[in-house]
Amino acid sequence: MDMNSESPLFSEFDEIAGELWENNAQWWQRGFTEGADPEYEEQIVPLLRYNLTSSHRVLDVGTGEGQLSRIASKVHGVTFVAGIDPTWPQIEEAHKRSSHIAYSRSEAAAIPFSNGSFDTVIACLVFEHISDVAGAAAEVSRVLEVGGTFLFFLNHPLLQTPNSGWIDDHIIGEQYWRIGRYLIEERTVEEVEKDVYIPFIHRPLHTYVNMLAGVGLFLTHMEEPSPPRGFLDKAPEYLEAATIPRLMFMRFTKA
Ligand SMILES: C[S@@+](CC[C@H](N)C(=O)[O-])C[C@H]1O[C@@H](n2cnc3c(N)ncnc32)[C@H](O)[C@@H]1O
């Protein structure tokens, strides 16, 4: 299903998106947490740990079932971790898996903490599901103290644009990575596995970087790692495209 951002179906998208996450939280929990996903184990978790070494008070926005909150809570020097997510089955599972973390059912655009409450905010594979991204960016900045850090993980916005993918053209004998309509902000609902539909919002990279700069969050570091070994072992069809990153990580500092 394609839902262009200019369409009157804009708010209908939000309603559908909320329902889809409520219905499909278990798909996420089953396939991507507790060691099930090599991209988390070999890439996201190490990057996160490395970037939390001087953190004390951490907020995990769109925490899901809390896997990154749990990681953060075990990092030396971290004294308080909170996680927010609007999807009830995620928050419920997060509580079960780690009762010592302060979880609440909230949207990124309405974070229930006061100004400057955290020195670190994490958002991992979340902003591509958020409609009110300007509201979310403003809230992240508001709850960060000056000099605080925003650790931002995204599905690579350029190379994983909807309709991107490896093309093996046997007729002309060429192989290449096709890129979708990168500059167009686009809302889609994708069937990620049989009968599991997840909402995505594609935005070009400049939208994120400029929006975050507009709320005082400045890019200080960026990584585009190649897909990790464990992912390629499970997805041999991606081997030919192993030089195409799936993940983008950016670190922002609050001025
Ligand atoms: C792909 S999961 C990532 C979960 C977690 N960050 C992780 O890395 O394990 C995306 C999460 O974003 C949450 N989400 C969707 N819309 C959101 C919003 N407006 N504000 C905050 N979180 C949202 C979903 O409920 C879901 O748990």
Q: Please give the distance, rounded to the nearest whole angstrom, from the Cα atom of residue 124 to the centre of ligand 1.
A: 8
Is beta strand 80-84 parallel, antiparallel or unpaired with respect to 102-104?
Answer: parallel
CA 199 to chain centre: 13
pTM of the model: 0.94
Host domain of residue 227: 2-254
**Overall average pLDDT of the 36-60 stretch:** 98
Question: What's the residue count for the chain?
Answer: 255
Phi (first) and psi of residue 29, to 5 degrees = -60, -40
Strand partners of residue 80: 57
Label residue 10 by pLDDT band (50, 70, 90).
low
Beta carbons of 183 and 171 less than 8 angstroms apart: no
Q: Please give the distance, rounded to the nearest whole angstrom, from the Cα atom of residue 123 to the centre of ligand 1.
A: 8
Label residue 5 by pLDDT band (50, 70, 90).
very low
Label residue 8 by pLDDT band (50, 70, 90).
very low
Q: The domain spanning residue 165 has which CATH number?
A: 3.40.50.150
Residues in the ligand 1 pocket, defined by CB under 6 Å: 21, 28, 61-64, 67-68, 85-87, 90, 107-108, 124-126, 129-130
pLDDT in tens, 203-232: 999 999 999 999 999 999 999 999 999 999
- Total domain count for the chain? 1
The predicted pLDDT at position 113 comes to 98
The predicted pLDDT at position 7 comes to 45
Strand partners of residue 199: 189
Side-chain-side CA neighbours of residue 94 (13 Å): 31
Q: Please give the distance, rounded to the nearest whole angstrom, from the Cα atom of residue 249 to the centre of ligand 1.
A: 16
